[in-house]
A and B are shown apart, each in its own frame.
Chain A
């Protein structure tokens, strides 16, 4: 049971302000993923929760209790570091046991927990080994076991999979999700990889330059972005953003929302004549780079692989797949009907001119 609240958090390193006045609540029991480009402040937030990189000002609450001044070891949190930070001079067992000994957990209890945890992560045969005798994946498991054995109320993970090869990473991804199901505790997981975030998180917190751009479940994050940043960060290739002549707002649509045809259908909200610049056949899907007549380029992701470079076609997008953004880059939703209606009308008319 642990809800984490950040209240008016400021953090600066020297004169560089990394986070300014941030407020955020991470719900209990969720698999929270902090995602964003490097330098966005996600790891900084994680370290604030852990207490190893305290905030410059502001409060951090754990289940309503201010823990801003509680030492890291007494917060009931455990962390898996990107570099694993396994104690190189201790055996696997000693690594897992170290925190328990420090917290004066009785020997019988320690033994029970170690055997339980090492069974879950599959380290039983390696308990007597030194970290230098383990593979990357095994070290990762040691780091995990060391965190799990403390039975923390909050699990913190700082890009724990980034040092693994692609295959192992995919396997560990689903293992971590299962682990979360099993433990039912609050996870806070930091990554720069939006695919990882989407695949694992119940709740994604997307950050940029120390600010929270959007906090939602993966589905909403993908289908209903709050702003251009979210629309472009989540999904590959990123959402196409178009500026329209003599308009201050911007238009966005995902590459997979595009349909291309020789003859335009009449009922589409957005229609534009395009020519195909490049074609990348990816297997199930094909990526096309398209040039609009005004020179702007967009990406399309289609299951149809029959189109060829140089083809001249009509690009069309349904109204429900169009996103409108104001001049600040924030989304204009249909609920603001007046603005939205005006924008839609202009877009629908734009190809006729």
Chain B
């Protein structure tokens, strides 16, 4: 009964992982034969060409910002919207809606809002007499615009998870803290945060992993530009695999680096952060 599922996973998940690493040691363009080149692809990636490191840096900056703001805001909003009322539930629903919408649509809507000439944001800036910004066309602003869109899209989802974990804290524990005359901040830091840390920890992993695979929003909103200011790992791999003369071996090496980073992050989280997490 498990065989069909395992077959699918083996063919489409695990074999491709192994094959990706295998291909990264070859020069290969899908048409001519594979040529074993050892670590050449990795050397080019990390030491010869500058664009990969740029993409890596962009991805790290983007991911760090998304993880930080998403978790921070999800916790703050969860505390703020914790009380069960129809209005709070309505806000939660509204905030969750973008999560279900295609990233492509989200990206188009926000491109339109960010539009330099007739976009909403510049119109709003004009109202308060601020000169228009170039948003997605500004190489230092563009990545932050993409961060905003990502946080906007998925905040509602993570908010619901934090809310559910807040509700799973036994009521008596909070009441005991109240009887212990615990100030608000101390209650949050010493009681609430440790109690929800397993979920926060889980969010940390999932948001980081999903941030490292960012593609749709970048592809639609900036296509990696301006210049390569918003080039990220997946757009990089995709570009080299399918556009730049099908340099599949080289793209595989880049993909392997992404794989490596994700593995290290996962292990790192489980090993080091896991220790500080309170499990009941």
The residues of B that contact A78 with a CB separation of less than 8 Å are 179
Report yes or no: B280 in contact with A99, Cβ–Cβ below 8 A: no
The residues of A that contact B181 with a CB separation of less than 8 Å are 71-74, 99, 102-103
One digit per residue, 1 when the CB lies within 8 angstroms of any chain A CB and 0 when it does not, for chain B 148-189 equals: 000000000000000000000010110111111111001000
Report yes or no: A99 in contact with B180, Cβ–Cβ below 8 A: yes
The residues of B that contact A287 with a CB separation of less than 8 Å are none
One digit per residue, 1 when the CB lies within 8 angstroms of any chain B CB and 0 when it does not, for chain A 322-352 equals: 0000000000000000000000000000000
Judged by a CB distance under 8 angstroms, whether B194 is at the interface is yes
Report yes or no: B183 in contact with A81, Cβ–Cβ below 8 A: no
The residues of B that contact A52 with a CB separation of less than 8 Å are 175, 178-179
Report yes or no: B179 in contact with A50, Cβ–Cβ below 8 A: yes
> How many Å lie between the Cα of A89 and that of B194 in the bound state?
7
> How many Å lie between the Cα of A82 and that of B173 in the bound state?
11
Judged by a CB distance under 8 angstroms, whether A168 is at the interface is no
The residues of A that contact B178 with a CB separation of less than 8 Å are 51-52, 71-73
Give A87-106 interface residues, CB cut-off 8 Å to B: 87-90, 98-99, 102-103
Size category of the B interface is 10 to 19
Report yes or no: A85 in contact with B173, Cβ–Cβ below 8 A: yes
Judged by a CB distance under 8 angstroms, whether A79 is at the interface is yes
> How many Å lie between the Cα of A79 and that of B179 in the bound state?
8
Report yes or no: B278 in contact with A88, Cβ–Cβ below 8 A: yes
Judged by a CB distance under 8 angstroms, whether A132 is at the interface is yes
The CB with the most chain B CB atoms within 10 A, among A78, A79, A87, A146, is that of A87
One digit per residue, 1 when the CB lies within 8 angstroms of any chain B CB and 0 when it does not, for chain A 93-127 equals: 00000110011000000000000000000000000
> How many Å lie between the Cα of A79 and that of B171 in the bound state?
14
Judged by a CB distance under 8 angstroms, whether B191 is at the interface is yes
* Shortest distance between the CB of B107 and any CB in chain A (Å): 41
The residues of B that contact A161 with a CB separation of less than 8 Å are none
Which of chain A's residues has its CB closest to B178's CB?
Answer: A72
Main SS of chain B's interface residues?
Answer: helix
If A83-B170, A83-B172, A87-B191 touch, does A73 touch B179 (CB 8 Å cutoff)? yes
If A81-B172, A102-B186 touch, does A88 touch B280 (CB 8 Å cutoff)? yes
Partner of A102, one of B183, B195, B278: B183
Give B54-76 interface residues, CB cut-off 8 Å to A: none
The residues of A that contact B172 with a CB separation of less than 8 Å are 81-85
* Shortest distance between the CB of B110 and any CB in chain A (Å): 40
* Shortest distance between the CB of A146 and any CB in chain B (Å): 8
Judged by a CB distance under 8 angstroms, whether A77 is at the interface is yes
The residues of B that contact A74 with a CB separation of less than 8 Å are 181
Report yes or no: A81 in contact with B180, Cβ–Cβ below 8 A: no
Give B66-122 interface residues, CB cut-off 8 Å to A: none
* Shortest distance between the CB of B212 and any CB in chain A (Å): 30
* Shortest distance between the CB of A96 and any CB in chain B (Å): 10
> How many Å lie between the Cα of A103 and that of B181 in the bound state?
7
The residues of B that contact A83 with a CB separation of less than 8 Å are 170, 172
The residues of A that contact B175 with a CB separation of less than 8 Å are 50, 52, 72, 79, 81, 85
> How many Å lie between the Cα of A83 and that of B280 in the bound state?
14
The residues of B that contact A79 with a CB separation of less than 8 Å are 175-176, 179
> How many Å lie between the Cα of A86 and that of B280 in the bound state?
12
Report yes or no: B180 in contact with A98, Cβ–Cβ below 8 A: yes
> How many Å lie between the Cα of A241 and that of B210 in the bound state?
70
* Shortest distance between the CB of A230 and any CB in chain B (Å): 31
* Shortest distance between the CB of B238 and any CB in chain A (Å): 44
The residues of A that contact B180 with a CB separation of less than 8 Å are 73, 98-99, 102, 146, 150
The residues of B that contact A98 with a CB separation of less than 8 Å are 177, 180, 182, 190
The CB with the most chain A CB atoms within 10 A, among B173, B181, B186, B278, is that of B181
The residues of A that contact B179 with a CB separation of less than 8 Å are 50-52, 72-73, 77-79, 99
**B-side interface residues toward A, CB under 8 Å?**
170, 172-173, 175-183, 186, 190-191, 194-195, 278, 280
The 5 closest A-B pairs by CB, nearest first: A73-B181, A85-B172, A99-B180, A89-B278, A85-B176
**A-side interface residues toward B, CB under 8 Å?**
50-52, 71-74, 77-79, 81-90, 98-99, 102-103, 132, 146, 150
18 CB contacts below 8 A, A to B, read A50-B179, A52-B175, A73-B178, A73-B180, A74-B181, A77-B179, A79-B176, A81-B175, A85-B170, A87-B190, A87-B191, A89-B195, A89-B278, A102-B181, A102-B182, A102-B183, A103-B181, A146-B180
